[in-house]
A and B are shown apart, each in its own frame.
Chain A
Amino acid sequence: MPLLEFFQGIYTFFLVAPAVACARLFLIALGCLFTYLGYKRVLEPILMVPLGIGMLGVNGGLMVYEAGHIGTLFLNPLVSNFEELMQILQIDFLQPIYTFTFSNGLIACLIFMGIGAMTEIDYLLAKPFMSFFIAACAELGTILTLPIGIALGLVPNEAASIALVGGADGPMVLFGSLMMAKELFVPITVVAYVYLSICYGGFPFLAKMVPKNLRGIEMNWRTIPKVSKGAKFAFAIVACVLLCLLFPVAAPLFASFFLGLALKEAGIERYVEFLTGPLLYGATLFLGFTLGALLGVDVILNPKVLLLLLLGMVALVLSGIGGLVGGLIYSKISKEPFNPLIGLAGVSCIPTTAKVAQKCAAEANKRAMILPFAMGPSVAGVVTTAIIAGLYMTGMPLLH
C-alpha cells in the first residue's frame, strides 16, 4: 500500500479537482482563523471556537470509503432516503445531532428558551411604545434586503432568509432559513453569526452619523417606572398567546422564548439555572460545532455565498440606519430628553447593540447613561424580528 494512501486526509487532496483541493485548504485556514479570532475575543468565542474546530475537522478528515466515495465520519446533510439515513445515524457521529435538532429547528428553540430565561424585560415593559417603535424602525434592513436580494438574483425564499440577518438574531436566522431555504441554511447562518460577532466593532461607525450634540444627550434613568413581577409574567402569557395565534409557523420559537421568560418571572430557579446554563451553552456548543462540520467544500464553492456575504452586511447596516432614524424621530416627538443612539439598540442582538449605544453615548458625553433605556428596544427587537420571520414564513408559500 503506498504510504500516501495510508494517510487518507492528505491522500484525498490528490483525488479531487485542484479547485476543490484549494477550497479545502482555504476552509481549513478559515477554520483556524475563526478559532484564533474566537480565542482572541475578536469574534464571539462561545460560538466561533467550536465552529472553527468543526471546519478544521470536517475539511481535514476526508477519507475514501465504500466504492471509492470520498466522505467524512461527521455527518451527511443531504441524505433523504430512510434506510440510508438509519445507516448513517449509526456511523456519522454528528448525524443524530443534525437529524434530530437541526432539521426540525429544535436547536434554535433550545437557544431561545435560554435567551428567554435570561432576558430582563423591565425596561421593555416600562417604556413599551418607545421600545417597540424603535425596534420596528430597526427592521428596515430585514424589509429592504428582501427585494434587493431578489433583484440580485436570489429566489424569494433565499432572499427572505438572508434578509432576516437584519434582525440580528442568530437563532431566528437559523430557524427561518431552515424553514424557507434549507439548501442555503448553513452559509446564511454562518454569515449571520460572523456579522453579529463583529457588530460591536462596526456599529460605532454608524453611530457617527448622528451629530455629537445629540449623541451626548443625558437621560435620567431614575425616572423609569418599576414593573411588578405579576405584570412581567402576564406579559409573557398574553404575548405568547397573541403571537402564536397570529403566526403558527413561528409558534415553536415564540413558545420557547416565552416559556423561558415565564419560568424566570415565576421564580422557578431550578429551571432557570438549567435553561441559562447547561441547556443554552450545550445547545450553542453543538450549534457551533455542527455548523462548522457542515461547512464543507460544496458550501464555499456555491456561487451564491458571495452574494449572501454582501446581503448580510447590507441587511445589518440598513437595520442600524433604520434604528438611528427611529431614534431621531422619537427624540423629536418625545417630551423628555431622548438620546437617538438608543435607536441602535433596536437591532436586537441582546445585549451587544445596547452596549454599543452606551459606549458611543459615553464617548460623546461621559455623563450620558442610556443603557437602561436601550435595553427596552433591544428586547423588543427580538419580538419584532420574530414577527417579521413569521410574516415571511407565512407569506412566502402564499405568494408563490
Chain B
Amino acid sequence: MLLKFSLFALASFALTFAIAMLVAAIIKLISIIVQKRSPNAAP
C-alpha cells in the first residue's frame, strides 16, 4: 500500500507541475490576446 500511495504522490506532483505550467501558458496567451485587441489601452 505504501508503494502504491508513494507512486500516487509522485504522479500528483508531476500532474500538479503540468497543470500549473498549463495555467501559466494560458495566462501568457490571455495577455497576448488582450494586448493585441487593445494595444493602446492603459493597463
Task: Tell whether A and B belong to one assembly.
Answer: yes
What does DSSP make chain B's interface, helix, strand, loop or mixed?
Answer: helix
A129 near B: Cβ within 8 Å? yes
A235 near B: Cβ within 8 Å? yes
Contact A246 B19, CB 8 Å, known A231-B34, A239-B26, A391-B12: yes
Distance in Å from the Cβ of B10 to the closest Cβ of chain A? Answer: 7
**Can you name 14 extra interface pairs (CB under 8 A) apart from A125-B31, A147-B9?**
A124-B27, A128-B28, A132-B20, A133-B21, A151-B2, A159-B5, A228-B41, A230-B34, A230-B37, A230-B41, A242-B22, A243-B23, A383-B23, A395-B12
Determine whether the beta carbon of A129 is less than 8 Å from that of B24: yes
Q: How far is the CA of A388 from the CA of B8 in the complex (A)?
A: 11
Distance in Å from the Cβ of A396 to the closest Cβ of chain B? Answer: 9
Determine whether the beta carbon of A238 is less than 8 Å from that of B26: yes
Contact A388 B43, CB 8 Å, known A125-B31, A231-B31: no
Determine whether the beta carbon of B43 is less than 8 Å from that of A226: yes
Residue of A nearest to B6 (CB): A147
Determine whether the beta carbon of A380 is less than 8 Å from that of B5: no
Q: Number of contact residues on A: which range applies?
A: 35 or more
Determine whether the beta carbon of B24 is less than 8 Å from that of A131: yes
Determine whether the beta carbon of B23 is less than 8 Å from that of A128: yes
A139 near B: Cβ within 8 Å? yes
A86 near B: Cβ within 8 Å? no
Residue numbers in B under 8 Å from A140 (CB-CB): 13
A–B complex contacts, Cβ < 8 Å, 13 sampled:
A125-B31, A139-B13, A146-B5, A147-B6, A150-B2, A150-B5, A159-B5, A226-B43, A246-B19, A380-B20, A383-B23, A395-B12, A399-B5
Residue numbers in A under 8 Å from B9 (CB-CB): 143-144, 146-147
A156 near B: Cβ within 8 Å? yes
A387 near B: Cβ within 8 Å? yes
Distance in Å from the Cβ of B29 to the closest Cβ of chain A? Answer: 9
